Amino acid sequence: MPYFPTRRAILFGIPVLVLATGVAAGFFSRSVPSDLDLAMSKATASGLYLAALAPVTEPVTVGPMHSWTVSLTDAAGAPIEAASISVDGGMPQHGHGLPTAPAVTRSIGKGQFLIEGMKFNMSGWWVIDLSIDSAAGADTVTFNLML
Ligand SMILES: [Cu+2]
């Protein structure tokens, strides 16, 4: 028997479709905030740490793999020597994550840690999220980057 959508299905389907389209459009066309914080050094979300992110080699370009350092101190400015740091990120406007799985590979002393395996495969607005855990507690920080 062929399927004919009932009036009820159509009445239900249209708002769902409109809603889904609206959500998708809102998600993918989200514009870059005019007040986007491009600071590479900032306090973490709950204020437990001060984190500074820096590329090992500049300029940072689209394409190649590169390394970064993150410098970590507690809120009073004392270097954090041992921490577990995970790296995530992506492009908020495109709804995708990082093309690679960068990771902190080692501590390089004085509260500095090496992040290897970072790559950006498109130009535009990227976010880099760090989740930090140490004896001082767990906290997160998000850096914005325009490429
Ligand atoms: Cu993208």
Query: What's the chain's length in residues?
Result: 147
Helix (H) or strand (E) holding 54: strand 49-55
Reported pTM: 0.80
Sequential pLDDT tens for the chain (147 residues): 566 666 666 566 655 655 565 555 555 557 999 999 999 999 999 999 999 999 999 999 999 999 999 999 999 999 999 999 999 999 999 999 999 999 999 999 999 999 999 999 999 999 999 999 999 999 999 999 999
- C-alpha 11 to ligand 1 mean position (Å): 35
**Ligand 1: centre distance to CA 88 (Å):** 14
Please write the tens of the pLDDT for every residue from 95-134: 999 999 999 999 999 999 999 999 999 999 999 999 999 9
Which homologous superfamily is 41-146 in?
Answer: Macroglobulin (MG2) domain (2.60.40.1930)
Q: Give 34's DSSP letter.
A: T
Q: Is 92 left (phi over 0), alpha (psi -120 to 50) or beta?
A: alpha
For residue 122, the CA-to-ligand 1 centroid distance in Å is: 6
Query: Could you give the 3-state DSSP secondary structure of residue 7?
Result: helix
What separation in Å is there between the alpha carbon of 78 and the centre of ligand 1?
A: 37
CA trace torsion 112, 89, 84, 50 (10° rounding): 50
